[in-house]
Amino acid sequence: MRTRRLAAALVPAGVGLLAFAVYVQTLLPSVGWGDIARFQYVARVWGIPHRFGYPLYIALSRLFGYLPVGDLAYRVNLLSAVSAALAVVMVYFIVMRLVDDWVAAVSAALSFAFSRALWGQAVVAEVYALNAFLIGAVVLILLAWHQTRKIGLLYLGIGLYALSFGNHMTVVTLIPAVVYWILVTDYRVFLDLKKVAILAGLMLLGALQYLYVIVRAHQQPLLNELGPFSWRGWIHWMTRNRFQGQFFGYTLSDQVDRLRIYLELLEKQSFRWGYILGWIGAWERLKADLKSFVFLALVAAGIYVFGMNYGGVTFRIYLVPSYLIFAVFLGCGLNALRRWLAGLLRGQRRWLAQPLIAALAALILVMPLYPLWQNWAEVDHSENTYYRDMARSFVTQAGSDFVLVDSEPHYDDLEAILYVAWGEKGWYGARWVPPGGIDTWLGQRPVYAWADGTAYHDRYVEEPVPGLPGMVLLVGARDE
């Protein structure tokens, strides 16, 4: 019994540590580009990044910023590595909950760990690895509640679900799955005023995270995508009104093609055999327990509907939690394969049956080595220091009071420079301004801009900057 308990703890720990070790080996070593760089410094300045504010992610990345290893950017990148490794462990525990097969659980978890989408998010500072972990944890806890009927697990699951809204609002798509699961597990929860009040209180506590956005908007931090606070502006910022044409812009006739694209992406994450076994596992789960199948399917479907109806280029990243659910089905499929072989060999001589069963288990356990081998080169950022070197070179030459003009084509470079200035140097006097704000600073501070051909350049006298190709120093306004 003691040995079994030790194994029950060591196996998932080993799975998580193996995934984490791989992520660390391929981790971006310093500052990244664009949104990645922004997420690396936003907690240092207690800023408000783009919608939805991400208060939970900011709080956690602030804590990781105190780790005594690497530079600030590296520490925040580690948050993604830890989150992804924990998401992998969630797959292991969910599969164990459903089929109690550690071989299938290990293989499914590591196959998910080394899938292109999750691995790509595990090595840079972004919110999506944490999103996968939180969704996986909520699913695991609610499955445990269903099996044990311990009300504390329901409160824990809903509390964690409410907390997850502070990382990425795509978790709103889980509401149908959560409501369904409560109804089929114990519908009387909704008839008990005390329990309803507790659940509502937990959701309210989760919503209170967004007081951070409101308070900081009033204080006008260095990074403030919301701008001067107003309730109308905040509602506009938090809803799809700010992104018209990107959300649910596809017609009904487009949906067949969107489904085709999703299935192709899903196959790329799982490779052909994992893809087939995942669908077999979904069928086996449906036959074994319709309720849990519908719950998992609703979780994946919510993510699918949101992700595949988003018109932005990042829609693929939104789909990562649906790949987590498919990895669970993969575990169920692997378990079905093991049970099929065991049934086929039942009654056969031990010297024949046991080696064949062991060989299949070994084959299943080494299956994740293929995606590990295939995806390593594509996701490996361990040698990527371009943005660090570029940004540090600029900041060293420009000094602590520079003003940098915004340039959409150079957004990646801009955010890396702001990371070095604000995140590493603590030069909070450095500024970035839109082209319309140049005149406020001209003659007061050195104003730098990218020679990107934008029309505003015609209004200013510019000098090339030695050592910074592609950049100019604005030294005055041209006579009208």
Give the Cα separation of 405 and 450 in Å (integer).
Answer: 8
CA proximity to 300, closest of 325, 334, 318, 269: 325
pLDDT at 34: 95
CB 248 within 8 A of CB 254: no
Tokens 């969704």, residue located: 135
Name residue 247's beta-bridge partners: 310
CB 87 within 8 A of CB 324: yes
Residue-level pLDDT at 300: 97
Q: Percent of the chain having pLDDT more than 70?
A: 97
Q: How many CA within 13 A on the CB side of residue 444?
A: 10
The pLDDT value recorded for residue 466 is: 86
- Look at residue 52 in the predicted model and tell me its pLDDT: 81
Question: Tell me, what DSSP letter sits at residue 226?
Answer: S
Predicted pLDDT at 206: 94
- Is the pLDDT at 465 greater than 80? The verdict is yes
- pLDDT, position 358: 94
Residue 399 DSSP symbol: -
Q: What is the mean pLDDT of residues 271-275?
A: 92
* Residue that is written with structure tokens 């939970």 in the block: 56
Q: Given a cut of 70, is residue 249 above it in pLDDT?
A: no
Cα-Cα-Cα-Cα dihedral sign, residues 307, 311, 317, 323: positive
Is the predicted pLDDT of residue 137 greater than 60, yes or no? yes
pLDDT, position 25: 98
Confidence at 289, pLDDT banded by 50, 70, 90: very high
Residue 312 confidence class, pLDDT cut points 50, 70, 90: confident
CA angle in degrees (0–180, nearest 5) for 387-390-395? 120
Q: Token pair for residue 385? A: 């220091």
pLDDT for the residue 248: 63
Long-range contact pairs involving 431-437 (C-beta distance under 8 Å, separation at least 24)? 431/402, 431/403, 431/404, 432/403, 432/404, 432/405, 432/406, 433/403, 433/404, 433/405, 433/406, 434/405, 434/406, 435/405, 435/406
Q: Using 50, 70 and 90 to split pLDDT, how confident is the model at 348?
A: confident
CB 37 within 8 A of CB 415: yes
Q: Distance of alpha carbon 159 from its chain centroid, rounded?
A: 20
Which of residues 143 and 239 earns the better pLDDT score? 143
What mean pLDDT is predicted for residues 290-305?
97
Whether 173 contacts 302, CB under 8 Å: yes
The distance of Cα 356 from the centroid of its chain, to the nearest Å, equals 40
- Which range among 98-102, 311-315, 360-364, 438-442 shows the weakest confidence by mean pLDDT? 311-315
Where does the pLDDT of residue 351 fall: very low under 50, low under 70, confident under 90, or very high at 90 and above?
A: confident
The tens digit of pLDDT for each residue in 6-43 reads 878 899 999 999 999 999 999 999 999 999 999 999 99
Residue 243 is predicted with a pLDDT of 53
- Is 67 strand, coil or helix? coil
Burial class (CB in 10 A: 0-12, 13-18, 19+), 235: exposed
Q: Which long-range contacts (CB under 8 A, 24 or more apart) does 195-201 make?
A: 195/151, 198/155, 199/154, 199/155, 199/158
Determine which of 83-92, 114-123, 268-277 has the lowest per-residue pLDDT on average: 268-277
Alpha helix segments (H runs only) across 239-348: 255-288, 290-308, 315-318, 320-344
pLDDT value at 85 more than 70 = yes
**pLDDT at site 244:** 55
Condensed to tens digits (0 to 9), the pLDDT of residues 211-240 reads 999 999 989 999 988 777 778 777 777 765
Inter-residue contact 448 to 472 (CB < 8 Å): yes
**Is 165 within 8 Å of 207 (Cβ atoms)?**
yes
Q: Give the largest CA-CA distance in the chain.
A: 97
Q: Taking the CA atoms of 85, 91, 97 and 99 in sequence, report the sign of the dihedral they define.
A: negative
In this predicted structure, what is the pLDDT of residue 247?
63
Report residue 108 as tokens. 């499914």
